[in-house]
Structure 1
Amino acid sequence: MATVAGRVGGRLSNERRFFAGMAVAMIVATFVGFAPSYYLSSVFAGPRLSMLVHVHGAVFTLWMLLYALQTGLVSAGRTDVHRVIGPVAVAVAVAMVPLGIATAIITKQVTAAAHLPPQGPPLIFPLGAILTFAILTAWAVAMRKRAAWHKRLMLLGTLALLTTPLARVTRMTHLPLTPALGGIILTDLILLVLVAYDLRTTGRLHAATKWGGAVFLLTQAIRIVLNMMPAWQAFAKSLTG
């Protein structure tokens, strides 16, 4: 019995370290992607930012910090504090959805009004990212009493947000991909890390990885297809002017 308990305890400890490490990695990726245009914009002589962009950046940064804090609390065994902070994280996640949609549309409108070349990926990609975040995070909240499901769906929901900063990394590193496609591929590589972790530790995919990952990939495919459709392009142009 002691041996079995030790194995279970060791697996839980490794799992907690894995998810805490993934949270830190995603914070680093977010910082690197947004450093020239937001976090270190004064150093890189970035463009002047509107109040909306500042609010958007602050709230999204808060989410990333809360996500890292929550995974860290679980890793430290402080699930009691994790549960107390949970409603705050949910409120931030709810605020992020309309804020993300508004920022994506208004930023494109400002660019078009100033007759500047299009900045960033086409509109469908940031909109798709925030909607994927909303779906997976809401699913994670609904599964909060099933820890293995909850932590995997939270990871995938937060990973959806990395599409934009990783698109910027694609541009900064001159990868032979469009920024939008590069952001998608790089997030898929991170998804593969979760897949590899499941296979290495249990020999099979956890159901949350399987079904949450399927939603993650499906929304990416929908974005790519919609972006090629004239009807969507006309609709997006009507939104952004």
Structure 2
Amino acid sequence: MVAAAEMRAGARGEWTFFATMSLVVAGVIAAGFGPSYVRSSAGSGLPWWVHLHGAVMTAWIALFAVQAALVRRRALPIHRALGIASVALVAAMVPLGIATNLLAIRRGATPPFFTPAEMFAADTIDLLLFAGLFAWALVLRHRREWHKRLLLCATVLLAWPAIGRLPPVRWGGIELVIPISSALLIGLALVGPLHDLLTRRRVHPAYLWGVGLIVLAQPLHALVARSDLATRVVERVSA
């Protein structure tokens, strides 16, 4: 009985960690995008699709936190129902995110640390990777240890654009924003494996895949940004 109670307490603590990580990601996104969002909304205003994109992304972060809390409280039927609903949310997030990226390039709203091609490549790759990790987690939904870790990696991935907009990241100069952002994103992704080491004495294979893919995506951003495909897309969108 004592062992069973300890296992239940450990499971609740683990889901508390996942909920906390969702709040950390939400804080990074709010700190990165919040100031410019407020300034733009108070000034000339933002296109409706920017507000929609922000609302959908915020909904995902909130859903991830709620799902972790539901499992902690053992409200599994509600957790499963929201999991099914999340498929529709992700199906909207990815095309809406890519469209928002392209429309921002068309408006000349590329951040100063990005070229339009870099912005297109990074956001598109990360959104597709996010969708891939989500789909993988969905397939493995009955293997909880894989499921929740893959979803955490997918959620952490969404923080990358916001990290580059944090004021301290820019202190090293515009040319260092992308490498610093990538390093900080990888550091944030490594919190999960570190938590495993501290609580389980080993890293779950889901993190080896999830964090590994996040690491591999960083040089892929630059490779795709220099490709003919990225050049043609930016030229067509900007025309």
Shift of residue 171, structure 1, vs aligned partner: 6.3
- The root-mean-square deviation of aligned C-alpha atoms, in Å, is 2.2
Counterpart-to-counterpart distance in 2, 1:144 and 1:14 = 20
Letter in 2 for 1:181: P
Counterpart-to-counterpart distance in 1, 2:153 and 2:94 = 16
Which of 143, 166, 169 in structure 1 is aligned with 2:166?
A: 169
Counterpart-to-counterpart distance in 1, 2:188 and 2:75 = 26
Q: After superposition, where does 1:111-190 map in structure 2 within 5 Å?
A: 111=108, 119=112, 121=114, 122=118, 123-169=120-166, 174-176=171-173, 178-190=176-188
Runs ≥4 residues deviating over 6 A:
none
Contact 1:153 1:212 in 2 (8 A): yes
Counterpart-to-counterpart distance in 2, 1:15 and 1:117 = 39
Say if 1:46 and 1:191 are closer, same or farther in 2 by CA, change over 3 A.
farther
Deviations 1:166-190 (A, max 9, x none): 1111566524563333332221111
Say if 1:46 and 1:209 are closer, same or farther in 2 by CA, change over 3 A.
farther
Structure 1 residue 35 corresponds to structure 2 residue 11: no
The answer for the alignment partner of 1:21 in structure 2 is 20
Counterpart-to-counterpart distance in 2, 1:117 and 1:214 = 28
Letter in 1 for 2:124: L
Counterpart-to-counterpart distance in 2, 1:99 and 1:66 = 18
Counterpart-to-counterpart distance in 2, 1:222 and 1:196 = 25
Gaps of 5+ in 2: none
Contact 1:128 1:220 in 2 (8 A): no
Contact 1:105 1:239 in 2 (8 A): no
Contact 1:170 1:179 in 2 (8 A): no
Say if 1:65 and 1:117 are closer, same or farther in 2 by CA, change over 3 A.
closer
Number of residue pairs matched by the alignment:
233
Deviations 1:129-178 (A, max 9, x none): 21111111111111111111111111111111111111111566524563
Contact 1:198 1:206 in 2 (8 A): yes
Counterpart-to-counterpart distance in 1, 2:110 and 2:71 = 45
Shift of residue 37, structure 1, vs aligned partner: 2.1
Letter in 2 for 1:164: P
Contact 2:169 2:181 in 1 (8 A): no
Shift of residue 233, structure 1, vs aligned partner: 4.9
Letter in 1 for 2:189: L
Gaps of 5+ in 1: none
Counterpart-to-counterpart distance in 1, 2:29 and 2:63 = 14
Shift of residue 105, structure 1, vs aligned partner: 0.9
Shift of residue 108, structure 1, vs aligned partner: 0.3
Which of 206, 209, 212 in structure 1 is aligned with 2:207?
A: 209
Say if 1:140 and 1:175 are closer, same or farther in 2 by CA, change over 3 A.
farther
Say if 1:29 and 1:117 are closer, same or farther in 2 by CA, change over 3 A.
closer
The answer for the alignment partner of 2:8 in structure 1 is 9
Shift of residue 220, structure 1, vs aligned partner: 2.0
> TM-score, normalising length from structure 1?
0.87
Letter in 2 for 1:137: F
Letter in 1 for 2:80: R
Counterpart-to-counterpart distance in 1, 2:217 and 2:51 = 27
Counterpart-to-counterpart distance in 2, 1:26 and 1:147 = 21
Letter in 1 for 2:131: A
Q: 1 or 2 for the larger relative contact order (CA 8 Å, sep ≥6)?
A: 2
